[in-house]
Amino acid sequence: MKQWVLREEILGKINKELEQWPELVRRLLFYRGIKTKIEAEKFFNPDYEKDLHDPFEILNMEKAAGRILKAIKENERIIIFGDYDADGVCASAIFHDFFKKIGFENFHVHIPDRHLDGYGLTVEAIKEFAEQKAGLLITLDCGITDYEEVEKANFFGIDVIITDHHLVPKKLPNAFAIIDSKQKKDDYFFKDLCGAGVAFKTVHALIKKGGFNIVHGWEKWLLDTVAIATIADMVPLVGENRVLAHYGLQVLKKTQRMGLVSLCKRLGIALLNVTEDDIAFMIGPRINTASRMDHATASFTLLTTQSGGEASWVSARLEALNVDRKAMVEEILSGIEEKISAYGAKIPGVIVCGDFNWHPGVLGIAANRLIDKYGRPIFLWGKAEAKEIKGSCRSNGSINLVELMRKTAKGFFSDFGGHALAGGFSLAEEKMPDLEKEILKAWEKASKEKTENNTIFIDKEISIDDISWDFYSMIEKFQPFGIENPKPVFLFSGAEVVGVKKFGNNGIHIQVDFKKSPSSGGDEIVPAIGFFFNGNLADVKKGSRVDLAASLEKSFFKPKPELRLRIIDIKLKSQ
């Protein structure tokens, strides 16, 4: 059972400093570490010109930009090598759009096959680029661990520029230039850009240095893809990421990308009302689905096509793939639950589970669904049509996944990488029987961090009667929400349930209804929605009194916008 903790009261002098804002706003600012009027103004009013730093402050940007501009001037063959997830695909679209804008055509965008090629560069791909007489290779959202592959590119006379944002290994590839702010010698003030964010900064540097005949500010049209990648890749929505996501959402509302327009229409998303939730739960998953279920070129085409017919076909294809993906995830989760139930009360510190028939492309989604429920790192593996075992892993924050995998026996994994909280791995089929043993052995040796995964922090206790559009307008100021800028969580104590129902495929979602008091809203119903809700609602029924932890959101699902609660946790009042 999760522990609910009411956050500390705002300090007196900070309360005074922020007195121009309502009490709730002051409280939420305080919980985000914002203690002065200047900081608050900057938070509420991101400024594109002032709040985005010069891209040339990033280590090696001057060198990388100079090499790319030289290749453009001399019409060298340039290969854009982007990762296959939403971040890498969006980064690839950014470079594609830039090259098209300046009239440079001697480039090729290569996105690997998740299942056949695996993550990052391959020697086979390098050989293919050499046959194309490529002079420059630019990696996007990958490459930081590809030491041998970069050596092979150097052998063929191909200069490599790595643009990445993942954790840096002890031994760096011998690339012409590496742009990754996580390098020790990089003093750039912001370390948490996603891959598309790094690509955007690089293109911005090229525009500043290249003297192209481009209208000032044209690069802002690229921000719709930056916002999608920033939100979909779950990087912290603070600092530059908040600025990029804020302006990116504004660009997305009037996007010129025919594929995005078609996809949003198919999903029932009104672009003028698009939010970070639409990206996180609707747009991003469809873009990611292509590589999981087929090939990421479909998503790349969605972002770059100028054909209405092609846009319609690709958006329909992605939605069909997403339906198949959902079915696969549910089947995998069912199999995992059977194994975990066999552990009884002795669930190991890391859950390791897999099946040769499981589709590797959907394992990350399944792992995400398990993290909240079991509160421990998850390693899932599958093979399907892949050449070797492929896996995805997720952490609850108690351990750095990359460091954990580094502590396995040398050479155990044929490849691995990712972030502290999310990663992927590959290994030969004959090593699969030892996977769980190796992971648990490494987990025993790895340093652990305290995790607040089972703690719900309550920002304020309110009542159902407090829910109003005026109240929501105060919360809305803090958008876009995401990592390190979460939606505020409110406690509703002893609220009376007036209705309960399940909906969605096999009743995987729930709705619990509450009613305002006659003096406040008469018969106004306030619904509370729980998507993929893992809580126990067996004893929650009409007439029950419950304590509810929930966030507040605006829904456009019905013809008329409505306010609704998003369930975080729920308990019977007697508990």
Beta-strand ranges (E) seen in 148-265 are: 159-163, 177-179
The separation between CA 569 and the C-alpha centre of its own chain, rounded to angstroms, equals 23
- For the residues of 204-216, what is the DSSP string, one character each? HHHHHHH--S--T
Tell me how many degrees the CA angle 398-403-406 measures, rounded to the nearest 5. Answer: 140
Q: Which residues sit opposite 109 in a β-bridge?
A: 80
Q: By C-alpha distance, which of 323, 54, 98 is closest to 189?
A: 54
Q: Work out the average pLDDT over 420-445.
A: 92
Q: By C-alpha distance, which of 223, 202, 213, 219 is closest to 54?
A: 202
Torsion of CA 401, 406, 408, 414, to 10 degrees: 100
Q: Quick check: 294 and 322 in contact, CB under 8 A? A: no
In this structure, which amino acid lies at residue 195?
A: G
Q: Quick check: 98 and 91 in contact, CB under 8 A? A: no
Question: Residue 337's pLDDT is what?
Answer: 86
Decide which of 435 and 543 is more confident. 435
Question: Residue 437's pLDDT is what?
Answer: 95
Q: Quick check: 189 and 222 in contact, CB under 8 A? A: no
Distance, CA of 454 to CA of 439 (rounded, Å): 23
Q: Work out the average pLDDT over 384-396.
A: 88
Q: Work out the average pLDDT over 449-478.
A: 88
State percent of the chain over pLDDT 70.
Answer: 97
Question: Residue 523's pLDDT is what?
Answer: 78
Distance, CA of 244 to CA of 222 (rounded, Å): 10
Going by pLDDT thresholds of 50, 70 and 90, the confidence category of residue 460 is very high
Residue 93 burial (CB count, 10 A): 30
State percent of the chain over pLDDT 90.
Answer: 78
Res 93 pLDDT > 80: yes
State both tokens at 513: 């209804």
Res 451 pLDDT > 60: no
> Which strand (E) or helix (H) includes residue 85?
none
In this structure, which amino acid lies at residue 275?
A: T
Q: Quick check: 458 and 490 in contact, CB under 8 A? A: yes
Question: What pTM was estimated for this model as a whole?
Answer: 0.89
Q: Quick check: 27 and 35 in contact, CB under 8 A? A: no
Q: Work out the average pLDDT over 246-250.
A: 98
Using DSSP's 3-state secondary structure scheme, residue 526 falls into: strand
Instruction: Report the mean per-residue pLDDT for the chain.
Output: 93
Q: Quick check: 109 and 78 in contact, CB under 8 A? A: no
Question: Residue 521's pLDDT is what?
Answer: 58
Return the DSSP state at 2. Answer: P
Q: Considering only 48-52, 59-63, 568-572, which range has the smallest mean pLDDT?
A: 568-572
Query: Which residues have CB under 8 Å from 215's CB, separation 6+?
Result: none
Sheet with 389-394, strands from edge to edge, namely 351-355, 378-382, 389-394, 422-427, 415-418
Res 534 pLDDT > 70: no
pLDDT digits (tens, 9 = 90+) for 549-575: 999 999 887 778 899 999 999 998 865
Question: Residue 519's pLDDT is what?
Answer: 78
Q: Quick check: 77 and 127 in contact, CB under 8 A? A: no
Number of H helices, E strands in the chain: 20, 18
Q: Work out the average pLDDT over 322-341.
A: 89
State both tokens at 567: 């369930």
Beta-strand ranges (E) seen in 166-317 are: 177-179
Q: Considering only 476-490, 517-531, 545-559, which range has the smallest mean pLDDT?
A: 517-531
Question: Residue 202's pLDDT is what?
Answer: 98
Q: By C-alpha distance, which of 2, 18, 4 is closest to 474?
A: 18
Name the pairing type of β-strands 545-555 and 490-503. Answer: antiparallel
Q: Considering only 247-256, 258-267, 328-337, which range has the smallest mean pLDDT?
A: 328-337
Res 345 pLDDT > 80: no
Please name the fold of domain 347-445: Diaminopimelate Epimerase; Chain A, domain 1 (3.10.310)
pLDDT digits (tens, 9 = 90+) for 260-285: 999 999 999 999 999 999 999 999 99
Res 321 pLDDT > 80: yes
Q: Quick check: 570 and 533 in contact, CB under 8 A? A: no
State both tokens at 208: 């500043």
Q: What are the residue boundaries of the structural domains of the chain, listed by start?
A: 55-235, 254-339, 347-445, 454-572
pLDDT digits (tens, 9 = 90+) for 70-85: 999 999 999 999 999 9
Classify burial at 500, counting beta carbons within 10 Å of its beta carbon; exposed 0-12, middle 13-18, buried 19 or more. middle
Q: Quick check: 322 and 281 in contact, CB under 8 A? A: no
Return the DSSP state at 94. Answer: H
pLDDT digits (tens, 9 = 90+) for 142-182: 999 999 999 999 999 999 999 999 989 989 999 999 999 99
Thinking of the domain 55-235, which architecture would CATH place it in? Alpha-Beta Complex (3.90)
Question: Residue 341's pLDDT is what?
Answer: 85
Question: Token pair 């104590």 is at which residue?
Answer: 493
Res 524 pLDDT > 70: yes
Residue 299 burial (CB count, 10 A): 31
Res 450 pLDDT > 70: no
Question: Residue 494's pLDDT is what?
Answer: 94
Question: Residue 447's pLDDT is what?
Answer: 79
Measure the N-to-C terminal CA separation of the chain; round to a whole number of Å: 11
Decide which of 353 and 575 is more confident. 353
CATH 2.40.50.460 correct for 454-572: yes
Q: Quick check: 514 and 498 in contact, CB under 8 A? A: yes
Distance, CA of 212 to CA of 214 (rounded, Å): 6
Q: Quick check: 146 and 205 in contact, CB under 8 A? A: no
Q: Which residues sit opposite 525 in a β-bridge?
A: 515
Residues in the chain: 575
Question: Residue 452's pLDDT is what?
Answer: 54
Res 227 pLDDT > 80: yes
State both tokens at 258: 């025919």
